[in-house]
Every structure is written in structure tokens, then in C-alpha cells.
Amino acid sequence: MGRVLVIGGAGFIGSHLVDTFMMRNEEVTVFDNLSTGTLVNIGRWLDNAKFTFIKGDLLNANDLKKLEINEYEFIFHLAANPEVRLGSVVPSTLFDQNVVATQNLLEFLRQSDNRPILAFSSTSTVYGEALKIPTPEDYGPLKPISIYGATKLACEGLISAYAYTYGFKAIIFRVANVVGPRSKHGVVYDFVEKLRKNSNELEILGDGTQTKSYLHVNDCVNAMIHAVEKSNGNVEIFNIASEDQVDVRSVAQIVIKELGLDNVRLIFTGGVDGGRGWKGDVKNMLLDISKIKKLGWRPELDSKRAIREAVKSLKKF
């Protein structure tokens, strides 16, 4: 692929993306402020001649100057604050870390002579409570119900406008709930951590009927790379997800079984706004992945298998 820049490459999904590129013998640079990522995730590559790590923050103009502006052929932008629940408490944090950070990156790209391809990790939450399930990429109008979803949609709009105005290619990924090794976020991780502290009971936010699809991180990374290599449009949007759903009660039961626990009492908080876990929690999500399947990709694991594999990896640590 040429020289690859992974922004947020020390994080959960980013570090798996780095692993794949390094095992393909690509030249990789990681730019990460280590606020949620960790060098442990990419430690195996730190002494590799084809790998470069730069500690930096997209919100700091001086940090961006550390990057070789004309050296990258592909930029994967995965840096973001992924905490959906934060939006109902401190929305400005999500705006800064998602929208402002992306705007700064786009200004950086605008000054580049070689116009690298930009791949951006967005989210299924941009759809809000879609009336069409499974939801295709051309569904509209997009009405996110969380600040997080709104900031990601704003990023999509900026990326599209910059790509058309300044002549570079952009690929946007609307990703489902990603699970797997190195995750420090999301319902599977939360359940494992709660049961480590108390194996007799498990608190579940909401009424347990929230139903969503789950995607293993390996499938996610493979889809991103596949789409970047196979798509041809100037600005492309792809859903990345499994093709089935699991409700939160079932997720809890899978986690309990994989941890080898018995007689765990489930405690439902009841939630808000009709059983949601928090303000902005989408109760029913399933994405239509027909578009990326036409490029030759499909997930290897369904939602339940992805959850099981995620728990197996999490319980080792």
C-alpha cells in the first residue's frame, strides 16, 4: 500500500490495524496521544525499522508538525473519544476530540502535495433510530440521538466536503459495536469487569431488550483494508457489521457462561426513555452490509461468536 499513517494506532482497533499492516511488511507510522491507547498494544513493533511511533495530539498544531506531510499514501483516522454516554454530561469534550480534531487533520491534508487516501472510522449511531432495519448507507434523513453520533456525522460532512473541494479520496466506515482483544470499552468489556469485582450479580443498564449487532475486531480491520483497496469512488461510505443481532440480556448470558459462572443474578436498572441504557442509547441497530459484500468482504464471525471470542481474550488479562 505504500507508507501508511494510522492516527489512533495505539488504541483498540488501531493497534489491530497496525498489526495487520506490519505483518504485510508495510511501512507504518502511528500518531497517538496515548489518552486511551497504550504502547503495550504496539510494543512488538517499536524496534522494527519499518515502524515509527509519534506521540501527538490532533488538537495540538505543533504536534501535527511532527508528521511528514507529503510522505503518506494512506491515512487511517481512528482517533476519537468513543464514550457515547459522555455526551449527555460533557458534550464539549466530544466536540473537541472528534470534530475539532478531524478539522485539524483535514487542514493538514489540504497542505499535502500528494493527496493521500483518507479512511475514517465513523459509527452506526449516525443513523439514530432508523426506521429501516437493516439500515443501508443511503438511508435518510440521518438524525443521531447522541452527541457522539452527531459529532461523527459532522466529521463525515467535513471529510466529504474537503475531499471534493481539495481533490483527495475519502472512505468512511460506519461501524457496528466492535469487540475483541485490547478493548477497554463497551458492554462486553463492562460486563467482564463487573463480574470480576462481583461474580454473584451483574448490573445491566436499561431493560435488557436493547438489540444490536457485534463485530469482531479482526473482521473490522479486514473490512477496512479490503474497502480501501477495492473501492473506486471519490467519497465512499460503507457499513461494517455482522448480519445478525443480539439483545443485551443475551450478551450478559454469553459472558457469564464464557467466564464459567453460575447463579449470577441479573439486575436491570430499567434505564431511561423506554428502557435505554443511557440518554442516546439506540435500542435497535442492524446495518445492511450489501455494499461492502459486493466488493468481496463478509464477516467470518456472527455476533454471538464475536462476543464469545472477545470474552475469551478479555478473561486472560
For residues 108-128, average pLDDT: 92
33 and 137 inside one domain? yes
pLDDT tens for each residue of 19-78? 999 999 999 999 999 998 999 999 999 999 999 999 999 999 899 999 987 889 999 999
98 and 119 inside one domain? yes
Tell me the pTM.
0.94
Structural domain including 123 reads: 3-178+216-240
The number of folded domains in the chain is: 2
Look at 88-92, 118-122, 132-136, 159-163 and tell me which has the smallest mean pLDDT: 88-92
pLDDT tens for each residue of 129-183? 999 999 999 999 999 999 999 999 999 999 999 999 999 999 999 999 999 999 9
* Cα-to-chain-centroid distance, residue 163: 21
What whole-number distance in Å separates Cα of residue 313 and Cα of residue 137? Answer: 32
Q: Give a yes or no: residue 290 inside a domain.
A: no
272 and 128 inside one domain? no
CATH number at residue 39: 3.40.50.720
Q: Which residues are catalytic?
A: 148
> Parallel, antiparallel, or unpaired: how do β-strands 235-240 and 74-77 relate?
unpaired
* Cα-to-chain-centroid distance, residue 139: 20
36 and 155 inside one domain? yes
Task: Give the pLDDT score at 87.
Answer: 45
Does residue 315 surpass a pLDDT of 70?
Answer: yes
Q: Give a yes or no: residue 25 inside a domain.
A: yes
134 and 250 inside one domain? no
Does residue 83 surpass a pLDDT of 70?
Answer: no
What whole-number distance in Å separates Cα of residue 240 and Cα of residue 235? Answer: 16
For residues 309-314, average pLDDT: 94
What whole-number distance in Å separates Cα of residue 76 and Cα of residue 56? Answer: 15
